[in-house]
Amino acid sequence: NAGVMQNPRHLVRRRGQEARLRCSPMKGHSHVYWYRQLPEEGLKFMVYLQKENIIDESGMPKERFSAEFPKEGPSILRIQQVVRGDSAAYFCASSPVIGLAYNNEQFFGPGTRLTVL
Amino acid sequence: GQNIDQPTEMTATEGAIVQINCTYQTSGFNGLFWYQQHAGEAPTFLSYNVLDGLEEKGRFSSFLSRSKGYSYLLLKELQMKDSASYLCAIDSGGGADGLTFGKGTHLIIQP
């Protein structure tokens, strides 16, 4: 039973380029969360999605950042025109259907480390 | 607003016991999580407290006092592999929002 998968694990971009980060949730999980972790900082919530729906994007910057979770395929976090301050580790987490879960435990993927040159 | 406080760093000796504290002020509260994160790796689930009291799981125990906005993670019989960051996180409610994390406590185990 594969866990949460993220790719790429490491991504290097130059300022102004686009970054696409992919996340495949655990089998049977329909909820996906994206977090950003800056060096020496805690994980910061960005966005929460279900299939084809953005439920809460209150933690995501209004400009340059977007997320989707299509009916088929992985969830995508897209950062346009990257800047140096976007360099961070981006973690995806998934959880099963609310109400059937023992708790709101979120299972984390290995993360994508984005470096902007 | 949301505020979660943990010590930045702690040092302990192999075989000993260490307690990592977490205090919080959040607009809602559905439960408190502790995660372990080794450098460069994903956070892994350790414990979940929703009711006051102590939850024991092997060498790790977690305590919660909702009235005091306080939790601690207790690690016994410390091993070198326990060197990691320990993250306190709050589920503010409903499962609709993400977890709110503290900055984490970096635990260093010395021989």
Span of A96-110, B10-24, B49-63 with lowest mean pLDDT: A96-110
pLDDT in the model for residue B33: 93
Residue A95 in contact with partner chain B when CB distance is under 8 A: yes
Q: How distant is the Cα of B87 from the closest Cα of chain A, in angstroms?
A: 8
Q: What is the mean pLDDT of the segment spanning B64-84?
A: 97
Residues of A in contact with B33 (CB under 8 A): 105
Residue B69 in contact with partner chain A when CB distance is under 8 A: no
Cα distances from A60 to residues A52, B40, B50, in angstroms, run: 17, 23, 28
Q: Which residues pair with A78 in a beta bridge?
A: A20, A66
Residues of A in contact with B4 (CB under 8 A): 42
Residues of B in contact with A109 (CB under 8 A): 42
Helix residue ranges per DSSP H, A8-55: none
Confidence of residue B1 (pLDDT cuts 50, 70, 90): low
Q: How distant is the Cα of A14 from the closest Cα of chain B, in angstroms?
A: 22
Instruction: Summarize pLDDT for B29-55 with one digit per residue, the tens.
Output: 888 999 999 988 899 999 999 999 999
CB contact under 8 A, B103 and A42: yes
B19-23, B87-91, B97-101, range with greatest mean pLDDT: B19-23
CB contact under 8 A, A95 and B95: yes
CB contact under 8 A, A31 and B99: no
Instruction: Summarize pLDDT for A81-96 with one digit per residue, the tens.
Output: 999 999 999 999 998 7
**Two structure tokens written together for B11:** 């040092």
Residues of B in contact with A44 (CB under 8 A): 101
Confidence of residue A97 (pLDDT cuts 50, 70, 90): low
Residue B28 in contact with partner chain A when CB distance is under 8 A: no
Span of A24-33, A90-99, B94-103 with lowest mean pLDDT: B94-103
Note which residues in 4-23 of chain B have CB less than 8 A from chain A.
4
Residue pair A68/A74 in contact by the 8 Å Cβ criterion: no
Residue B91 in contact with partner chain A when CB distance is under 8 A: yes
- For the purposes of burial, counting CB atoms within 10 Å of the CB of A9, is it exposed (0-12), middle (13-18) or buried (19 or more)? exposed
Cα–Cα distance measured from residue B61 to residue B47, given in angstroms and rounded to the nearest whole number: 8
Q: How distant is the Cα of A49 from the closest Cα of chain B, in angstroms?
A: 9
Among chain A residues, CA nearest to B33: A105
pLDDT in the model for residue B93: 67
